[in-house]
Structure 1
Amino acid sequence: MTSINASADVARATERLRPVFGDRLLLPTHDRFASASRIWNCAITHRPVAIVRCLDNDDVRAAVLTARECDVPLSVCGGGHDWAGRALRDGGLVLDLSGMGQVAVDTGVGTATVGGGAHIGDVSGAARQHGLATPTGTVRTVGMAGLTLAGGYGPLCGRYGLAVDNLLRADVVLADGRLVTASPDGDAELFWALRGGGGNFGVVTSLMFRLHELPTVLAGMMLFPFAQAATVLAGYREIVATAADEATIMAGFLPNPDGPPLVFLCPMWSGADLAEGERLIAGLERLGNPVMSQIAATPYHDALSMFDGAMREGNHYRLRTRWLSHLSEAAAEELTDAAAQIASPYSAISMHHFHGAAARVGQTETAFGLRTDHLLVEIVGAWAPEDAEAGYGDWADQTSQRLAPLALPGGYPNLLGADEPERVPPSYGPNYERLVSAKRRYDPDNIFASAVPTLAV
C-alpha cells in the first residue's frame, strides 16, 4: 500500500510541476536524467524520481510547495559536492540550482551577490576582475552556498575569517513557500542560524558577500619526501602556532605514483608586504629538502587552480574529519602512519589551518561552533569504480577512529557523514540547542531533512 501511495504522490507532484517547468522537469525516462542525477561522488546510488531545474525564486517556491503538499521527499543540489550524496534522495524531488549561478560584483560598496547555484570559481573569478576577493574553500568546483552555510574553511580565514563570516545577507525560500531575506536587520535569528547551520532552514537562492581588496596572494605548493614527515610536521606545528593573520598554511599527505606518499605544505600569504611572505616561505622550505617548491605571486582565483584536480569526476569517495586543537607529536605520528597505508592513487590527508580573524569571532555570534585555533583534518578515501572492493573507504574510517582519542569533540559539519549524527551536537557546543530551536521554528515538518548537518527535531 505504501508503494502505491508513493507512486500516486509522485504522479500528483509531476502533474503540478509540468506546467511550471516544461522541459526543465526531468523524469527517469528522460534522456538527460542520468547525467542530471549524477554528482561528483559516483559511489552514491540514490535514485530520485524527478529533477526540476530552477531559474528563479518562483521556481524554487513552486517546487518546495509541491514536494510538501504531495508528500514527496525533497533535496537541494547546488554544487553537488556533498560527499554523502544528500543532494539526492531516494524517491525524492531534486531542486537543481545550477541555473542560478549568477554573480554580480558591486565595486562601489565592495560586495558580490551570488546565486544559490554558483561555484567557488564563479565567485573568485568575478571578483578577480576588480582586484577583489572573499574567503572561499580551495576547490573551485564546490558550490559557494553549501560551503558557506556550514562554515567555509579556506586559505584566507586567518586574515578575513571563514566564508560565513563574510556573509552579509541571504534570500531564502522557507518550507512554507515564503521568500525572506535574512540579515542583521531582517530576520536576524534566521541569519544567525544560516551562518553555520547549513541548509536546514530553507533553500538559499541568493547570498551577498563582503569583498576585500586583494589583487595578489603569494601561494603555491611544496612537496617533501615521506621520510622527512616527522621533521616537516614538527616544524609546521611551531610555525602555525604563531603565524600572522595573513598566513594560512595547509599541510598533509598526497599519493605518489612513484613511491611512498609525499608530505605537502600549501601556504598562502595574503598580506601587502610580499617580502614578509617570502620570509615565511623560506622558513617552510627549510623544514626539509623539498622535491618541489612552486610558490608565486598570483591573483587569488588563479592560486586556487592548484586544487582543480583534487576531486576527480567519476571516482568514488568516502570522507571523514576530525578537529585537532594542535598538531601534537602523537597526532602527527598517527597521521604519518595512516599516510603510509595509502594505496589508492587518489586518497589523501589534508589539514586546514584555522586561526586569526576566524578565531576572533565570538562563539555565539554565529551558529558555527568552534572559534579557537585548531586544525581541521580532512581524510579523503578515493578510488576508481573498478576498485570498489579494495577497502579504501575503510582506510578513511580507520584513520578517523585512530585520531578520535586525540581530537576535539564533534567535527566540521560539512564533512560529517549522515551516519554520524551523534557527532553533530558537540560540533556546535553551546549553540546546538538554539540551532535546533531555529530548525523547529523555520522547518517544523523537517522538509529539508537531507540538509547538512543532520539536526534532531
Structure 2
Amino acid sequence: MVPAATPDVATAAARLRALLGDRLHEPGDAGYATTTRLWNGAVRHTPALVAHCRDADEVAGAVRVAARCHLPVSVRSGGHDWAGRALRDGGLALDLTGLDDVRVDSDAATVTVGGGATGARLLAAARPYDLVVPTGVVDAVGMAGLTLAGGYGPLCGRFGLALDNLLGAEVVLADGRRVTADARHDAELYWALRGGGGNLGIVTELRFRAHRLPAVLAGMIMFALAEAPRVLRGYRALLAEAPDELTVMTGFLPGPAGEPVVFVCPFYSGPDLAAGAPWLDRLRALGTPLVDQINPMPYADALRLFDGGMVDGNHYLLRTRWLPALTDGAADALVDAARRVSSPFSALAVHHFHGAATRVRTADTAFGLRADHLLTEIIAVWPPGERDDPHRRWAERASTALAPHALPGGYPNLLAPEETDRVRLAYGPNWARLRRAKHRYDPRDLLDAVPTLPPSVRPE
C-alpha cells in the first residue's frame, strides 16, 4: 500500500483556478452548492474542491493537479449514484456534466457521447435516425456510470447490457495521460472498463454500437397487492419461455390509495411488434389489471414510464440481490416486503437478465455474472426531515429475507460502499484480473474515491 500523503488543498485550488477560472468551486460559493446537489438528498459529502470541466484536456489537467497535491478524485456524471460516490469528502470532484455532446454516425450505426451525457440526451440525438443504444430504465442516469459497471435495461434480452455495446472509450488515467481503450488500443483497459466500474480512469467519451429500433411495444400493467403471489408466479412461468425480444420488469410501486401495487412492465423490441401481442395478453391474464397501458411507442418515450417515481431531493437507500430464479420463497419475500413497506414512496424492482446478455463469455468483459438471473432493487425512499431508521430497517429486512434465495455478490452499481465482500464475489473469476488492472492503471489509488472496487483491490 502506498502511504497516504497530506492533501495540499490550497496549492490545488490555486492551480485549478488558473486552469478553470470561475469554474472551480469551493465550499460556500453558489456553484459549489449546485454541483454537489445529487439526486439522493441524503448524501451530505463535502469535497474540498469541485472542478467543472468542459473538455478532456481540462479533465487531464485537473487530474495532474490532484495527483501532485495528493487529493483523491471522484467523478460526477449523471449524479444518480445513490451512495454518493460522485463526491469524496475532502477530495477533488470532477463535474463532467459539461461533457455532454452526442455525435451520431447513422451509416456506421454508432453513437459517441461525452462522459457527462445522460441516456435521455443520447436517445434524443439518435431518434431522428431510428437508432437506439441500450440504456437503463431511467433516462436521466449518466451513460458513463451506467455502462462502466453493467447497464441493465429494457433491451437486455435483445442487445445485451449497456457495456456489451461499448465499442471504445477515451480515458484520462490517474497520471493525467489521455488514452484510447478499445479492441485495438489498450485492450486490457477496454476489458476492465466493461464492468469494472469507475476506479480505473476518468472516461471522457464513450462510443456505442447503435441498433435500428423505430418503436417498441411497451407499457405498464398493474394489479392489486392481494394478487401479487399469483402475478409473480405467472411472471416466473412466462420468463421461462420469453424470447430475446421480450424483456419484462416486475415489482411493486406506490399505489394511489397508499398501498403498493404489483406491476409488470414489458418491452417487446422485435421487428414485428404484432408478434409481441400474445405475450402481453399472457401478462394481462395474470390477474385483474388496475392499469393496462400497453402501446407501440419510440423507445425513448417508453422510458418515461418511470418518470416521476423517483423524485430528486428525496432520501434514498438501496439494497440489492441477484436471484437465479423467482422461487416461491423469493416471491414470498418480495410480497412480504411490499406489505411491510415503511414509506408510501418506496419501491421494489426486479430486472430481467437473459438472452443476448447471457451469450457473452464471462471472461470477455469484467462483468462477473452471465447466467440467466433477476436483479432485485430494494428502494427505500422518504422525504427530507424524516428519520431514516424505519426505512433502513425495512430495506435491510427485505435484503436479509432474500439472501437465502440469492446468488453470491450483487450488482456493483447498487451495492453499498461497505459491502466489500459482496463486490469481490460479484466479479467471480474476473476478480484477480481486475485487481491487476487496478494496480496497473491507478497504483496510487487516486481514484479510490469511487469505491466500486473494495479496499482489497488496492495495490499492496
State yes or no: 1:399 paired with 2:398. Answer: yes
Map of 1:114-193 to 2, 5 A cutoff?
114-193=113-192
1:257 and 1:345 in contact (8 A); partners too: no
Are 1:16 and 2:15 counterparts?
A: yes
C-alpha contact (below 8 Å) 2:259/2:344 kept by paired residues: no
Query: What is residue 69 of structure 1 aligned with on the other side?
Result: 68
Aligned to 1:310: 309
| Equivalent AA in structure 1 for residue 265 of structure 2 | C
Determine the C-alpha separation between the residues in 1 that align with 2:396 and 2:121. 33
Deviation string, structure 1 residues 177-197 (Cα, Å, up to 9, x no partner): 111100001100000000000
Whether contact under 8 Å (1:255, 1:342) holds in the other structure is: no
Shift of residue 128 of structure 1?
1.2
User: 2 CA distance for matches of 1:395 and 1:15?
Assistant: 46
Which residue pairs with 1:92 in the alignment?
91
Q: Secondary structure at the match of 1:317?
A: strand
1:255–1:347 contact (8 Å) kept in structure 2: yes
Q: Which amino acid aligns with 2:386?
A: D
Contact persistence 2:424–2:453 (CA under 8 A): no
Q: Distance in 1 between matches of 2:401 and 2:449?
A: 28
Report the residue type matching 1:332 in the other structure: A
Match of 1:53 in 2: 52
**Cα deviation digits, residues 134-176 of structure 1 (max 9, x gap):** 1100101111000000010000010000000000000000001
| Letter aligned with residue 438 of structure 2 | K
User: Structure 2: how far apart are the matches of 1:17 and 1:389?
Assistant: 37
Task: Give the AA of the match of 1:347.
Answer: S
SS of alignment partner, residue 364 of structure 1: helix
> Any gaps of 5 or more consecutive residues in structure 2?
none
**Secondary structure at 1:413 match in 2:** coil
TM-score (structure 1 length as normaliser): 0.97
User: Where does residue 422 of structure 2 map in the other structure?
Assistant: 423
Larger CA deviation: 387-396 vs 286-295: 387-396
Map of 2:275 onto structure 1: 276
Contact 1:319 1:381 in 2 (8 A): yes
Given that 2:197 and 2:453 are in contact with CA atoms closer than 8 Å, whether structure 1 keeps it comes out as: no
1:354-386, Cα deviation, whole Å (9 max, x unpaired): 000001111111000000000000110010012
Q: Determine if contact 1:174/1:202 at 8 Å carries over to the other structure.
A: yes
C-alpha distance in structure 1 between counterparts of 2:256 and 2:393, whole Å = 21
Q: CA RMSD in A?
A: 1.1
Secondary structure of 2:421 counterpart: helix
- Paired letter, 1:131: D
Indicate the SS of the match to 1:423.
helix
Is the partner of 2:157 in helix, strand or coil?
A: helix
Local SS of the residue matching 1:323: strand
- How far apart are residue 10 of structure 1 and its match? 0.5
Query: Is 2:244 the partner of 1:245?
Result: yes
Q: Write out per-residue CA displacement over residues 210-245 of structure 1, whole angstroms, 9 at most, x where no aligned residue.
A: 000100000000100111111100000010112100
**Secondary structure of 1:346's partner?**
coil
> Hey, what's the Cα distance between the residues in 2 that align with 1:343 and 1:294?
28
Name the stretch that deviates more: 108-117 or 8-17. Answer: 8-17
Q: Deviations over 1:257-285 (max 9, x none)?
A: 41421000000000012222111111100
Q: Does 1:326 align with 2:300?
A: no
User: What is the 5 A alignment of 1:194-233?
Assistant: 194-233=193-232
What is the distance in 2 between the residues matched to 1:394 and 1:77?
Answer: 29
- Percentage identity across aligned positions? 56
TM-score (norm 2): 0.97
Paired residue total? 452
Aligned partners of 2:400 and 2:444: how far apart in 1?
A: 34
Structure 2 matches for 1:98-117, cutoff 5 A? 98-117=97-116
Cα distance between partner residues in 2 of 1:242 and 1:452: 38
Letter in 2 for 1:16: R
When structure 1 is superposed on structure 2, of 434-443 and 71-80 the one drifting more is: 71-80
One-letter amino acid of the counterpart of residue 65, structure 1? R
What amino acid does structure 1 have at the position aligned with 2:252? F
Aligned to 2:369: 370
Name the CA distance, whole Å, in 2 between partners of 1:131 and 1:351.
28
1:159–1:246: 8 Å Cα contact kept in structure 2? Answer: yes
Q: For 1:122, what is the secondary structure of its paired residue? A: helix
Look up the match of 2:450.
451
Q: Which runs of 4+ in 1 moved over 6 A?
A: none
Write the deviation string for residues 337-357 of structure 1: whole angstroms up to 9, x where unpaired. 011011312110000000000
- Alignment correspondent of 2:382: 383
